[in-house]
């Protein structure tokens, strides 16, 4: 299990089952998890909240995931934004990357993939040891 205690992660997701799934997995890592059920809530919060990583649903209501990512990038240019969607097309993927996402992945997203992404972007321990 990865330990990212104290890292701040936003979950922007409207599907309650998916939301609980992400929340359960992420809280086990020691991360501080903030939940947004729609894009409008997220966009309103980014001016006063700070996040180390964002899990963003592509089709979140009120303000979609692409517009949320654009708004977030105006304030935070470095924190990873992982766009998650059940609807894949090259156009969707390109829109996400142009908006500023760091990673684009399809649902369902299994625990191993979530932990791999957390390790890749938040667990900055060196993979080698000096002798």
45-91 per-position pLDDT tens digit = 998 999 999 999 998 989 999 999 999 999 999 999 999 998 888 99
Range(s) of the domain holding residue 40: 8-122
**Domain of 37: which CATH number?**
3.40.50.2300
Kindly state whether residue 129 falls inside one of the protein's structural domains: no
Kindly state whether residue 69 falls inside one of the protein's structural domains: yes
Kindly state whether residue 2 falls inside one of the protein's structural domains: no
Kindly state whether residue 32 falls inside one of the protein's structural domains: yes
- Burial code (b: 16+ CB inside 10 Å, e: under 16) for 1-29 equals ebebeebbbbbbbeeeebbebbbebbeeb
Kindly state whether residue 130 falls inside one of the protein's structural domains: no
Work out the pLDDT band at 125, boundaries 50, 70, 90.
low
Tokens of 46: 């980014």
- Residue 40: pLDDT over 70: yes
Domain count for the chain: 1
Kindly state whether residue 1 falls inside one of the protein's structural domains: no
pTM over 0.85: yes
Tokens of 41: 């809530």
DSSP annotation of 59 reads T
């Amino acid at each position: 299990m990865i330990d990212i205690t104290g890292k701040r992660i936003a979950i922007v997701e409207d599907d309650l089952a998916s939301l609980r799934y992400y929340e359960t997995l992420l809280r086990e890592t020691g991360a501080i998890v903030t939940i947004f059920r729609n894009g409008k809530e997220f966009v309103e919060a980014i001016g006063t909240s700070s996040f180390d990583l964002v899990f963003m649903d592509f089709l979140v209501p009120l303000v979609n995931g692409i517009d949320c990512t654009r708004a977030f990038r105006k304030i935070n240019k470095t924190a990873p934004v992982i766009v998650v969607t059940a609807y894949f097309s090259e156009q969707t993927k390109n829109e996400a990357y142009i908006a500023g996402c760091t990673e684009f992945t399809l649902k369902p997203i299994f625990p191993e993939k979530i932990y791999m992404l957390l390790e890749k972007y938040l667990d900055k321990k060196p993979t080698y040891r000096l002798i």
